[in-house]
Structure 1
Amino acid sequence: MVRLTRAQQQQRTRAAVLVAARQEFAQYGYGEAKIDRIAERAELTRGAVYSNFAGKRALYLAVLADTAERARLDAEPPPEPPDSVAGALGAFARVWLERLPLAGDTPGSGHLQLRSLSGVVDTEPARAALAELVSLEALLLALALEPDTALRTRTVRVAGLALTLLHGAAALAENAPGAGDPFDLARAAEHLAGISLSNDAEPAHLAYVGPARPAEDEWAAPHGLRDEIDGRRVDLDDDGVVVVLGVRRLSAADEAVRSARRRDKVTLVVVTSDPAEIGRLARLRIVDLVACLRRVFAAGELPRLRVVFDDGGTVAAAVGQGSVDDFTEVAVRVRDGLIVARADGRGAGHAVAAGPVRPRKAVEPPPRPGAS
């Protein structure tokens, strides 16, 4: 008989809890689900469930995040990607709307199908984080819509309007399954590409952001991280800009991306003081969005922004941020294995990305043999 290690046994227990929880939430929805029934379904004790998840909310978010991750892994790019912003918005809407429950669906299956957060996001920190996540989702969609041009405020706003339309349709369909014609909604999303909006303008506070501080510190790049956009390992040894943002400052990612040079590699590192719940909420939303993007856009058209979740705080520590919370905002520029610029506080990403870049160090040739 093979004896499992403690880590293997914990992994098996966690998997059993997720399977049981998925069945419970599908049958009863979030509000009526019970931890006792989940434990019974998994043939475990109530304590075993709580040893892996802090509570019902954390467990529900874990189930949804696991569902979104599976969808991302299964997502395949289209044979012919859209050739216009309008076409891309329509295609994205059609993929996104597949989650809407149909007439006759039970409330429970509709909740899981919708990635419903009804009754889940019921605290001020979670609501504030969700608002910031919507801003980040709009940024990521905008970067996919126009991958070969400089980021425009108008495109981000159009992407935000499209997401508002889709989330509104989802909220209606959750309470009235079958309401709203998906084809009409997709056509409406297409028309947003031509909507008249005011001219681009920089956020007013950027005029008051001070310059980044020059530095020459060793960069101990953390390893074992994953880019949530393409699912691959992230190599932070590369030259570029690293921006660490708490979940209540994620809208500042727009400033960093807009200010960065065309060839800069920009990495957004998401941190939170509550990884069990708000961290899972953030991961769910981003992974779910990426799963849709990957079915609409070719791999080369996915957002060039790299997104990393730093639950262990390793990246934050590497940039010199001893502790993090939901309002953290710190950025560094990395070049030749050194941190060459730093900034923290409001506008940190903009300050580092827009600041001057020192020239590379000249490499001195080795001395000639016999030279004195």
Structure 2
Amino acid sequence: MARLTRAEQQERTRAAVLVAARQEFAEFGYAEAKVDRIAERAELTRGAVYSNFTGKRALYLAVLVDAVERARDAAVPPAGPPASAGQALGSFARAWLERLPLLGDTPGSGHLQVRSLSGVLGTGPARAALAELVRFEALLLALALGPRPAAAPSPGAVRRAGLALTLLHGAAAVAENAPGTGDPFDLARAAEHLAGTALGDDPEPPHLPYVAPATTAEDPWTPPGGLHDEITGRPVDLGGDGVVVVLGTGRLSAAEDAVRAAEPDDEVTVVVVTGDPAETGRLARLRIVDLAACLRRTFPPDRLPRVHVVLDDTGTVPAALGHPPTDTAETAVRIHDGLVAARATGRGAGYAAARHPSRAPGA
């Protein structure tokens, strides 16, 4: 039998650790789980576990990410688009609510099923990232619910999508501690009604007039390859005309201003980066991939959000732009004819790059 390569052996070890960790967390829950027991279950040393995962929190998030990636890849799109925004929200809610734990589940397995983060996010940056992710999820859901041809959602539409997500996460929080609470059919009907809730549109955010304009450029651009959109699963080519916005996990809410400022025919790509791929990066992957799984079950491929979302765990895109991948990263470029036609960095960078004329200098 041929000997395994180092990479193959590491992948086999990682897979064994994930299986053992899933069993441990299902039995004991996050708080009571022990890394030593996970190593014993996998018939590995404690060091072998830590060579693949930085700690229990990273391992727990990896177990959840593995589960949501499987769910997303198995998602079957509907035969046609929902007839209305209300019907779409109801269908989205039904797909989302399938995760609610049942009465017979153990507490640990119920927590895994509901993707529970209770007691997991102990740091300020992780909590801040979660708050930004919730706002980013609302933007993506609002984009899917919007009319075609695709248009930037109004602030009211994003708030309605946020209300629906709050309803669903609230139901999950209750069911986590009291399985069987809440009728999924009632919750789905409630989500349908939220589509017609009149919230009104907020005025333009007061900081936007003070955002510095993007700097005109004419720079060669060789984008990293091998990227794909987490929502559709399709390859992403950052060399085409459009706007590329690089946002750290602590600045994802800035995507809304960039999307709203973009021209109707712009390809907008949000590249999510972090200085902590093991934990904050996995948190971002967990939330975005989980949302994508429900979106794929609700909307046909041509009705998924028009914004591309790239999870850049290794920071290749910001490196190509000359910036580090930090949790507070905020930089953007406008691409035209294979060149960087405009650059912006700092607060409002995506908005500034999107507002810059799409024609190349001198065109």
Per-residue deviation, 1:198: 2.2
Q: Is the 1:100–1:114 contact (alpha carbons within 8 Å) kept by the matching residues of 2?
A: yes
Q: Which residue of 1 aligns with 2:144?
A: 144
Rounded Cα–Cα distance in structure 2 between residues aligned with 1:146 and 1:171: 28
Aligned twin of 1:314? 316
Question: Quick check: 60-69 or 217-226, which moved more?
Answer: 217-226
Aligned with 2:214 (options 212, 215, 218) = 212
Taking structure 2 as the reference length, the TM-score comes to 0.97
Contact kept, 8 Å, 2:39 with 2:49, in 1: the verdict is yes
Note if contact 2:337-2:360 (Cα within 8 Å) is conserved in structure 1.
Answer: no
> Which residue identity is paired with 1:347?
G
* Secondary structure, counterpart of 2:195 in structure 1: helix
Partners of 1:280 and 1:72 lie apart in 2 by 16
Shift of 1:306: 0.6
Q: Which moved more, 1:289-298 or 1:22-31?
A: 22-31
> After superposition, what is the alpha-carbon deviation per residue over 1:222-272, rounded to whole angstroms, capped at 9, x for unaligned?
111221111122211111100000101000011111111111111101111
Aligned to 1:177: 179
Aligned residue in 2 for 1:226? 228
What residue in structure 2 maps to residue 365 of structure 1?
none
Q: Which amino acid aligns with 2:53?
A: F
Q: Equivalent residue for 1:370?
A: none
Q: Which runs of 4+ in 1 moved over 4 A?
A: 359-362
Sequence identity percentage: 71
Please name the residue that 1:32 is paired with: 32
| In structure 2, distance between residues paired with 1:230 and 1:219 | 25
Distance in 2 (alpha carbons) for counterparts of 1:35 and 1:17: 10
* 1:280 pairs with one of 282, 288, 308: 282
**Superimposed CA distance per residue, residues 269-290 of structure 1 (whole angstroms, 9 cap, x where no aligned partner):** 1111101000000000000000
Q: What secondary structure does 1:52 align onto? A: coil
Partner letter of residue 333 of structure 1? R
Q: Which runs of 5+ in 1 are unaligned?
A: 363-372
Across the two proteins, how many residue pairs are aligned to each other? 361
What residue in structure 1 maps to residue 271 of structure 2?
Answer: 269
* Residue pair 2:230, 2:288 contacting (<8 A) in 1 also: yes
Q: What is aligned with 1:336? A: 337
Mapped to 2, the partners of 1:95 and 1:358 lie a distance apart of 42
Q: Is contact 1:147-1:303 (8 Å) kept?
A: no
In the alignment, structure 2 segments of 5+ residues that lack a partner are: none
Equivalent residue number for residue 4 of structure 2: 4
Amino acid at match of 1:22: R
Higher mean alpha-carbon deviation, 181-190 vs 276-285, is at 181-190
Contact 2:81 2:303 in 1 (8 A): no
**1:147/1:301 contact within 8 Å kept:** no
SS of 1:331's equivalent in the other structure is strand
* Aligned-partner Cα distance in 2 for 1:260–1:247: 21
CA distance in 1, matches of 2:22, 2:104: 20
2:23 matched residue in structure 1: 23
CA distance in 2, matches of 1:262, 1:168: 35
User: What residue number does 1:106 align with?
Assistant: 106
Equivalent position SS for 1:204: coil
- The residue that corresponds to 1:76 in the other structure is 76
